[in-house]
Structure 1
């Protein structure tokens, strides 16, 4: 009977993932089709699968739209998995790389790089962004753990918000002093328009390998989410898993911010939706979070282009329209449970 239930659950989960993948592919195809220049679906299909570099419409799709949409998908998946890891490891339903200040740390280091090393190559910029994410995460966890009562979800959220506000202020000061307002506007607003094939060659393997690492520790994350005592009694090395999980989340957040700017709320909203669909087992919710996160960022980019063409809205604004009310709802729900 148990084997039958497990088999049914596996079939249901497989069907959910299959439907989500199909929906993601359809959304990506629509996003590739839409732009300043109107193109038929037949032209888009031919350009994607039978690329001819001598055809102008094929060049538009292959060099501009395709890397943009692929970048949105892979980075959205990374942000969502980072949020899922942080929510499970910290047992904090409000955890997200943006809310906890990790994105702000990565963006702050990008601002410093623009000010003092303006010609830094993209690969080095990713490392610098990652360093900023590590430093801000370390400071946030140290700050929240040093208060009386130790590390709690509420203290972690407050510490992250304070550090994020500080780092955003410092980034703004650097932008004003070094006249970088135009250069950093992209990083504040967020966007995938600047993602090119050479960026994807670095982004795709790093993010996919990190997500694979997250899937490998997903069983342990599920046990940690049940509580410290339960996970310890079941043989989980909680300190090691927390360190690995936070490290993976920092990599995903740092790489994502370096590519598309400081985009928040993807890692907050998507893991909750995934857990509503497949339950609290992170072996199922982490892969589904990746798929749903990819879809959300592709849709946000598409929406940003459709609001007032040919001008584009900031992706962060489009996501905030969903993320802010969702965050307030979760915060109110969390306060009631205290």
Structure 2
């Protein structure tokens, strides 16, 4: 017998407030660790001296490099966590995620096409190209998953997304093969990381992230109604198609802008919403903001861990999230199968 969303225990506001405080504390700790830990650990006195206008060269380097990196990791993690929660709500699929549905791969291929065939170089061009690629891929996956009897079921969407991601990734490799001039930089970017953070890149992506956050969070109430089924939601006066379009647009803006700057970072949008459901329940009015905060924490800590494990070099954050996300993916699939027995 399948458990429905309404059978999930209701979380008390006091419990949710406790988890909110813990997640905020973890976010602050992650930001602090991200600033202090690197190839060379730097004390708070050196950082404070640089922030106060002192001439500590090491502290100045930390402020110039690690602060933008910390901010980018927090923003990217929040965007990916929130977009994953929205995609799972829109598709009603526990396996929905920008990576599994092929949205990240579509954004990456669009950027590669723009670089290889049209010579794009500006940050705004990268952002718009990635968002258009993400949107086109999301529409394609939903169209393929809607074919046949039963419409867009969770299983068909997951299969369509996986097949599309593989096909798009193969096309991206085929485009790069004859272009040795851009292949090296693109291959490094495709791993996914926040090491190249700059104030200019963060400033360029902020409008897209702000729009994505707004559209996603404003869809929370209607996503709760969609969880009851399309017919029930329509009976309560919810515009089902419009709700899906608005929420999906928010998710595409978030993961497209993030992919343009950081590269395709996987599994954050899959793991984080499931963890947050265990903490605060299935109400999207709580789930969506918690997914954003927890996504920021996960990416910050993954980035810090990548610096620690490979000293004096570092591992890109996309490698760390893959190590974390692959076992979590297997656990989610097994848990889902056990519930449906």
Calculate the TM-score normalised by the size of structure 2: 0.92
Partner of 2:35: 32
Asked whether the equivalents of residues 75 and 207 of structure 1 are also in contact (C-alpha less than 8 Å), the reply is no
Matched with 2:86 is 85
Structure-2 residue corresponding to 1:43: 46
The offset of 1:46, in angstroms, is 4.1
Q: Is the 8 A contact 1:105 1:133 kept in 2?
A: yes
* Alignment correspondent of 1:164: 165
1:254 corresponds to which of 253, 256, 269 = 256
1:139 maps to 140
Q: Is the 8 A contact 2:189 2:262 kept in 1?
A: yes
Query: Take 2:310 and 2:225, find their aligned partners in 1: how far apart are those partners?
Result: 46
Which position in structure 2 is the counterpart of 1:3?
Answer: none
Distance in 1, Cα, partners of 2:53 & 2:335:
51
- Tell me, which stretches of 5 or more residues in structure 2 are unaligned? 1-10
Alignment-derived partner of residue 295 in structure 2: 293
Partner of 1:317: 319
Name the structure 1 match of 2:306. 304
The offset of 1:186, in angstroms, is 2.1
Q: Which runs of 5+ in 1 are unaligned?
A: 1-7
Match of 1:5 in 2: none
1:271 alignment counterpart: 273
Residues 160-199 of structure 1 correspond to what in structure 2 (within 5 A)?
A: 160-179=161-180, 180-199=182-201
- Asked if 1 retains the 8 angstrom alpha-carbon contact of 2:123 and 2:204, the reply is no
Contact 1:107–1:187 (8 Å) recurs in 2: no
The match for 1:4 is none
- Report the 3-state secondary structure (helix = DSSP H, G, I; strand = E; otherwise coil) of the residue aligned with 1:148: coil
Q: How many residue pairs align between the two structures?
A: 329
Closer, same or farther: CA 14–46 of 1 in aligned 2, 3 Å: farther
Matching residue of 1:94: 95
Where 2:227 maps in the other structure, the secondary structure is: helix
Distance 2:198 2:255 in 1: 19
Cα offsets for 1:52-82 (capped at 9, x unmatched): 4x43123212221110111000010000000
